[in-house]
Structure 1
Amino acid sequence: MKRYLSILSDMEIKINEGRYRPGQKLPSVRDAAKQYGCSVNTVVRAYAELEKRHAIYSISQSGYYVVDKPEDATGSKDDNKIDFSSALPDINVFPYLDFQHCLNKAIDTYKQLLFTGGDSRGLAKLRQTLTSHFANDQVFAKAEQILITSGAQRALEILARMPFPNRKETILVEQPSYDIYLRYLEAEGIPVMGIPRRAAGIDLRELEQKFKNGGVKFFYTMSRYHNPLGTTYTAEERKTIARLADKYDVYVVEDDYMGDLGEEKEFDPIYAYSRTSHVVYVKSFSKIIFPGLRLGAVVLPERLLETFRAYKGHTDTSLLSQAALDVYIKNGMYERHKHHISRQYAARIRAVHDAASHQNSEGRVELSRVDSGVYIQFKLPQTVNLDRLMKRLSARNVMAVTGKQFYLTNWLEREKFLRISISQVKPERIEEGVRAIMEEVRREIESLS
């Protein structure tokens, strides 16, 4: 990576995080050169690029200053909101300069391939790169087993429609679970049944009975950073799920869409424990980079490959995006950004827990114990009226999502909870937001007594 791009990226991060405030003077070119250990010309080039992006401006014989944007001075309507609802990545930590560099590099490196129809399996170079990338997460597979799709959702839809070798039809889903997938299964009339998953885990004996007697084609699960609970299965739970799948000829579709957002050093997915290749591993790149990339990958047992390819059909992903992601991973940028965003998100999760420890002394709200990822479950007493609570929070400009949408339509055993997402909330407003939630829950309970 060119030195000026590294400086440019660091300066933008400091501006976005408020370390350089609107109107503040930046270090002189000479001081910045000393700080970064580079030439004056390199800093001049970085500052010039920041000027092009309207992030800074220069004053003759004075220096460079951070642009004072109108929304920074006056505040916009959204600035007043405390957003615990959005699951989109934080735009302030998006490495768009790094990725722009990778796009340019991809055009130079793969220009001949970009004018072809492409392989329906995905760019061969990217699939080869992903063999090493996935191996770091204990997912060992050959490039032939990896297929690129236009997002993880696309892979999940194909798996739902295609037949499996076990000739079973029902899809078993955790309750609660990924709402968009639940709505898809119901809309398509695909046989589906649920099994409760709580913050404390899943009943493995009930799971075994479902596997044994339920005609289950596959079990859809998020083994870590579950949406909406935020929780992660223990190693023992993951081992048992793999063993039961092998024993009863049930496949597991393991959606590890947020796997890159964790700080833990060792995590073996369910995929790593399967002895008979009964686990399909699904990966998304939208949470770590940006949703518009629309790239996902699926690691398939060999016996599912041809059927999956037949149902997938033609190439459905941008070759340029695939090529850029390949460059991004190979250059080490992906790994660096992963650690950067994981640290920021983990700090926000700790802030939520710290705020709750101050504001929830009565213990009326139960928080799922999570350290990484994006989501935390705020479990509420069953007497709380969710609609009324949400109206009260909205009046205080606090945005959150209730647990209603994360269940199958006919599911009766629903917990009452808020799904708290930390990806878009401003760190300095977490305490205020948690306090508002706790106060309104307390007010709701007291109104019923």
Structure 2
Amino acid sequence: MLKYTRLVEDIDQMIQTGEVGAGEKIPSIRTLSATYRCSKSTVLRALHELENKHLIYSIPKSGYYVVHKNFSVQQKHDGVIDFATSAPEWLQFPYQDFQHCINKAIDTYQQDLFIYGTPRGLPSLIQCMEKQLHAYQVFTNLKQIFITSGVQQALHILQLMPFPNRKQHILVEQPSYHLLMEMIDVHQTPVIGIKRSAFGIDLEELERIFREEDIKFFYTMPRFHNPLGTSLSRQEKEHIVRLAKQYDVYLVEDDHLADFEQDAKIDPLFSYDSDDRVIYLKSFSKIMFPGLRIGVAVLPAELVAVFQRFKTIVDIDSSMISQAALEIYLTSGMFSQHKQSIRQPYIRRAERLHHALADGIDYVSKSVSMHTHLVLPRQVNMNQLLKRLDDQNIKLESINENYIKTFERVKMLKINISNVDEERIEEGVQQIVTEINRWA
């Protein structure tokens, strides 16, 4: 038996028998290397496999610990290929590392966490976030950074607050983020839609709307659009920024999947803005976990005071404990390590999805993302298609909820691989293609 295999089996056995209990530290890399007379790289390989099985977790500069299992594990249905769920599988979240950060935050900040904070957020987290934003090519003043209760809170405030251009309408890509569409409907916000497809946005139509309508701000997802999965080119971004300046329109950039970008040369819309027109929004729900409810908003200087006033009315401040834990998670290096570990499996899945679709159907998207879309032939009955696929344990959704009510819908399926086993992506895509072709 290989020493690596023996290491994995022996540590697994130690955990299963309770020889090393939940939360306890396992022997060090040095000790295991000496005990099994093998290299440290062999030990690390075994430990990484045990981490992937969610049996142990690492704490930088401390060691490896046994994962607590005193929670209810909800098993996925073995036969289901779930292309509908957008939230990552919960076992991929850094729950144990973050629990450590929460405990550390309580010890470090103590009573500061149990009083009202500031509307802008925990000052030390803002300082940390200012440096973190550099990784996304967002360089800004500390005074322009707000910590929000997710991106949704920032969007809620931006909808309600007045802007210096004194305009009323919001322009949104169609389709777009479904919860924003619902928010617009609930508040009866004056809204105009502009079509976004795999080929981008009609920039001439965008200019016409900017010129003829009173657009307060334009909400856009230049990178890995939800639900299309596509990204805008550098030329498109530069053109949109120029139009915003020319017609006195603000741009709200939702960069929720920035952490999954593979090309370091691709910059956000914000980086092309020299006129303080772009409001940059970033969430940590996809890379960490949705329940964290921490987002960051970078605002033009002239919007800071009114945004702060509205935010104070909404909730005074965001969760201080979550903010303090996130700060420790970022500064400790845990976030960087987690991002690297979770990115590669997603990139592999996205590439498999891209190739499977390209091989099986007329597919035009050039973006490799964890989600994408398929435009269906007019003759396809959406409800019947979804029902037939559901009968075959293939879970999919249409994008009807991603439109404002008055905008003409395109018949599309959104496909997300966040909860699909990598080995079953091709199988699921083939079943989808087979069912679509029945309507040809």
Normalising by structure 1, what TM-score?
0.83
Counterpart of 2:23 in structure 1 is none
Counterpart of 1:20 in structure 2 is none
| Paired residue type of 2:174 | Q
CA distance in 2, matches of 1:140, 1:180: 28
Distance 1:409 1:247, change over 3 A: same
* Alpha-carbon displacement from aligned partner over 1:321-354 (angstroms, at most 9, x marks no partner): 1011111111122122222222111111111122
Counterpart of 2:425 in structure 1 is 430
Distance 1:107 1:250, change over 3 A: same
| Paired residue type of 1:389 | L
Percent of residue pairs bearing the same amino acid type: 43
Pairing 1:115–2:125 present: no
* Alpha-carbon displacement from aligned partner over 1:410-449 (angstroms, at most 9, x marks no partner): 112x32211001111111111110011001101133xxxx
| Paired residue type of 2:390 | S
Counterpart of 2:219 in structure 1 is 220
Pairing 1:344–2:345 present: yes
* Alpha-carbon displacement from aligned partner over 1:272-295 (angstroms, at most 9, x marks no partner): 111210110011111110011011
Shift, 1:37, TM fit: 7.9
CA distance in 2, matches of 1:229, 1:356: 14
Query: Which structure 2 residues correspond to residues 95-106 of structure 1 after superposition, within 5 A?
Result: 95-106=94-105
Query: Which structure 2 residues correspond to residues 204-243 of structure 1 after superposition, within 5 A?
Result: 204-243=203-242
| Paired residue type of 2:66 | L
CA distance in 2, matches of 1:382, 1:204: 26
Counterpart of 1:133 in structure 2 is 132
Which of 368, 373, 380 is matched with 1:371 structurally?
368
Counterpart of 2:378 in structure 1 is 382
Counterpart of 1:406 in structure 2 is 402
| Paired residue type of 2:434 | E
CA distance in 2, matches of 1:77, 1:97: 21
SS of the residue corresponding to residue 163 of structure 1 reads: coil
| Paired residue type of 1:319 | M
Pairing 1:81–2:80 present: yes
**In 2, are the aligned partners of 1:367 and 1:377 still within 8 Å (CA)?**
no
Distance 1:148 1:51, change over 3 A: closer
Counterpart of 1:22 in structure 2 is none
CA distance in 2, matches of 1:285, 1:115: 23
Shift, 1:356, TM fit: 2.4
* Alpha-carbon displacement from aligned partner over 1:198-241 (angstroms, at most 9, x marks no partner): 10111111111111111000000001010010011101111111
CA distance in 2, matches of 1:227, 1:168: 26
**In 2, are the aligned partners of 1:376 and 1:421 still within 8 Å (CA)?**
yes
**In 2, are the aligned partners of 1:102 and 1:327 still within 8 Å (CA)?**
yes
CA distance in 1, matches of 2:219, 2:287: 22
SS of the residue corresponding to residue 439 of structure 2 reads: helix
| Paired residue type of 1:150 | S
Residue segments in structure 2 that go unaligned for 5+ positions in a row: 1-6, 16-28, 51-55, 58-62
Shift, 1:34, TM fit: 4.8
Shift, 1:359, TM fit: 3.1
**In 2, are the aligned partners of 1:368 and 1:378 still within 8 Å (CA)?**
no
SS of the residue corresponding to residue 341 of structure 1 reads: helix
Pairing 1:322–2:320 present: no
CA distance in 2, matches of 1:225, 1:371: 9
SS of the residue corresponding to residue 415 of structure 2 reads: strand
**In 1, are the aligned partners of 2:172 and 2:192 still within 8 Å (CA)?**
yes
SS of the residue corresponding to residue 217 of structure 1 reads: strand
Counterpart of 2:20 in structure 1 is none
Distance 1:381 1:97, change over 3 A: same
CA distance in 2, matches of 1:179, 1:54: 35
Shift, 1:260, TM fit: 1.1
**In 2, are the aligned partners of 1:218 and 1:252 still within 8 Å (CA)?**
yes
CA distance in 2, matches of 1:138, 1:443: 46
Normalising by structure 2, what TM-score?
0.84
What CA RMSD, in Å, does the superposition of the two structures yield over aligned residues?
Answer: 3.0
SS of the residue corresponding to residue 197 of structure 1 reads: strand
**In 1, are the aligned partners of 2:116 and 2:317 still within 8 Å (CA)?**
no
CA distance in 2, matches of 1:51, 1:209: 57
* Alpha-carbon displacement from aligned partner over 1:130-166 (angstroms, at most 9, x marks no partner): 1111122121111211111111001001000110000
CA distance in 1, matches of 2:184, 2:38: 57
CA distance in 2, matches of 1:371, 1:352: 8
Shift, 1:358, TM fit: 3.8
Shift, 1:116, TM fit: 2.0
| Paired residue type of 2:283 | S
Query: Which structure 2 residues correspond to residues 62-81 of structure 1 after superposition, within 5 A?
Result: 78-81=77-80
Task: State the aligned residue count.
Answer: 399
**In 1, are the aligned partners of 2:252 and 2:281 still within 8 Å (CA)?**
yes
Distance 1:52 1:157, change over 3 A: closer
CA distance in 1, matches of 2:121, 2:358: 47
Shift, 1:91, TM fit: 2.0
Shift, 1:48, TM fit: 9.6
Moved more, 107-116 or 236-245: 107-116
Counterpart of 2:355 in structure 1 is 354
**In 2, are the aligned partners of 1:228 and 1:403 still within 8 Å (CA)?**
yes
